[in-house]
Amino acid sequence: MPLLLGTETEYGIAAPGRPDLDAHALSSLVVEACGVPATPVVEDSRHRMLGNGGRFYVDHGHPEYCTPETTSPTDALVWELAGDRIVAEAAAAVSNALGTPVRVFRNNTDGKGQTYGYHENYLLRRSTDWALVEEALPTLLVTRVLLAGAGRVGIGPASDRPGFQLSQRADFFEQVSGLDTTQRRGIVNTRDEPHALPRDWRRLHVIAGDATRSPFATWLKLGVLGLCLAVLEARALPPVRLADPVAAFRTVSRDLTLSEPLALAGGGTGSALHVQRLLLDAAAAYAERTAFPEADALLAAWGAVLDDLATSGPTGVADRLDWAAKLTLLEGYRARGGLGWDHPKLAQVDLAWAELGERGLAERLQAAGRLRPGPAPGPVEAAMVTPPTDTRAHTRGTWVREHVDHVVAAGWDSLLVRGSAGALHPLRMPDPFRHTAAGAEPGASADRLARSHDRRDP
C-alpha cells in the first residue's frame, strides 16, 4: 500500500509585551494574519483551509497547522517546514501590527505543567488488525524517542525536579491506550476518524511524539514510523514488546546513558537501542521484498544514528537529532558557568531552541553548520502556496489557490464550490489517492473544473 501521512503542530505562543491578550485572542490574530492563500472551511468559520492543501486554525489557545496529505517522508517534512514559515510570517505580521514581539515556538510543553501536541497521521488499511496496532505501537513509539526526542530541561510535568530528558511529551502519558488527547493521554490514541472511506481506511493518529526542529530528525522519525507501520501491516514486526510502556516511556526519556534495561513482555530485558536494532533489521528485511518511499535512505540514516549512539553517545548524533544538539549546547553552558540543571539559563536555552525565526537556536545551529540542513529553501517556499500533486490535497489546494471566491466549504474529504451561474457543485473525495494532478487540466476555469467534478463518479 502506498504511504499517506501528514502532521499537525500546535505552536507555543507568547507576547510578553501584551499580557492583556489571552492565548486564544493572540492565536486568533496570528491565524487572521495568514499571508498565504486561504479560505474559511465554511462561512463564518475562523478555521482556514490553505492553498497548499493544509489547514490553519486556533486550537486550545495555540495556532495549529496541519500539513496536507503527502506520500513520502520528504514531502511531509517539506510541507511541515512550509507550515513553520506560514506561522512565523503571520506572527511577524502581528508583531508589526501590535508593535511588540509575538513569538511562536515549536515545542510541546511550557515546563510548568502544560503540554500541547504534535500529532502524526498515517493511513492504515481498515483490514489491519487493530489489536496488533495496540499491542505493538507502544514499543515502537517509546523506543523511537532515541530518534525523535526534542530534548527537555526539567523532569516531571511541571519540571518539579531539575535535569534533562530526551522527550518533551513522555511525562504527560498515563496509559497505554486511550481516546482522550487532553487528559489521561494514552500512548496509543484510539480515535477512529479516517477522513476517508471508513470501509477501506483507518487513520492512525499518533499523539506521543515531539515537535522537532532538526529537519533530519523530523524526516527520520516520520519515515521510520511509516516504515514500521508498513512492516506491522505485513505482520512482519519482531515479537519484542515492552512489558510496561508507560513506565518505559519515562525511563527511556530520562536515560542519558542509553543503556537502561527495559522489562520486556514474556521476561527478560532490553535497552531502547536494542529494541530499535531489532526493528531496523525487520524493516530492512521487509524493504528487500517490498517497495517503500525512500526506504534505502531511511534505513541507512536510521542505522547510522543507532551506530553513532552506541559508539559515541549523544555527541555522536548532535549534528542530526534535536535532543542531542540541545544537550550539547546545555552541557557547554553548564561547563562554562558551573550551572546546575535548575539554572534559568538552561530553561531559557531549551525554550529558545524552539523559537521560530532568526532568534531560534535551531536555525542558529544550522547556520553555524552544526545541525544538518534541511531541504533547499525553494521547495519549502513553494510548499507554502502549492499543494502536493499526488494526493487529493492537489484538488483542495488548487481550488483555494486559484478559485478561492468559488469555494463555499472545504474539508479534508469534500469540497463545495459555486459556479459563476450560482449552481452548487459538491465534490466528495473519500479516496485520498485520487483527485491528484494526474489528469487535471492546469489553469482550468472554475466552471470547467466544477463541471469536471460533476462527471466524476462519487
Residues designated as active site: 59
Instruction: Find the binder of another protein among 247, 300, 423, 424 (CB under 8 A).
Output: 300
**Residues between 266 and 285 that touch another protein (CB under 8 A):** 280-281, 284-285
Rounded to whole angstroms, the Cα distance separating 314 from 299 reads: 20
Minimal distance, residue 225 CB to another protein, in Å: 18
Residue 91 engages another protein in binding (rule: CB under 8 A): no
Whether 201 and 193 have beta carbons less than 8 Å apart is answered as: no
Residue 124 engages another protein in binding (rule: CB under 8 A): no
Cβ atoms within 10 Å of 104's Cβ, excluding its own:
26
Whether 429 and 194 have beta carbons less than 8 Å apart is answered as: no
Size of the site for another protein (CB under 8 A): 59
Residues paired with residue 187 on neighbouring β-strands, in sequence order: none
Cβ atoms within 10 Å of 340's Cβ, excluding its own:
10
Cα angle: 41, vertex 47, 48; to 5 degrees? 65
Residue 146 engages another protein in binding (rule: CB under 8 A): no
* DSSP sequence for 168-221: SSGGG--EEEES-SSSS-EEEE-----SS-TTTEEEEEE-SPPPP--HHHHHHH
Residue 105 engages another protein in binding (rule: CB under 8 A): yes
Instruction: Find the binder of another protein among 345, 418, 434, 453 (CB under 8 A).
Output: 345
Minimal distance, residue 228 CB to another protein, in Å: 15
Minimal distance, residue 195 CB to another protein, in Å: 17
Residue 362 engages another protein in binding (rule: CB under 8 A): no
Q: Rounding to the nearest 10 degrees, give the CA dihedral for residues 291, 297, 300, 301.
A: -130
Residue 333 engages another protein in binding (rule: CB under 8 A): yes
| Segment interacting with another protein (CB under 8 A) among 46-54, 301-309, 382-390, 442-450 | 301-309
Residue 80 engages another protein in binding (rule: CB under 8 A): no
Whether 169 and 115 have beta carbons less than 8 Å apart is answered as: yes
Instruction: Find the binder of another protein among 257, 311, 405, 438 (CB under 8 A).
Output: 311
Residue 160 engages another protein in binding (rule: CB under 8 A): no
Residue 402 engages another protein in binding (rule: CB under 8 A): no
Question: How far is CA 427 from its chain centroid?
Answer: 28
Instruction: Find the binder of another protein among 6, 37, 73, 117 (CB under 8 A).
Output: 117
Q: Rounding to the nearest 10 degrees, give the CA dihedral for residues 32, 36, 37, 39.
A: -20
Q: Which three cell numbers stand for residue 206?
A: 499518533
Where along the sequence are the contacts to another protein (CB under 8 A)? 10, 12-14, 16, 23-24, 59-62, 105, 109-117, 119, 181-182, 207, 280-281, 284-285, 287-288, 296, 299-300, 303-304, 307-308, 311-312, 328-329, 332-333, 336, 343-345, 347-349, 351-352, 359, 361, 364-365, 368, 370
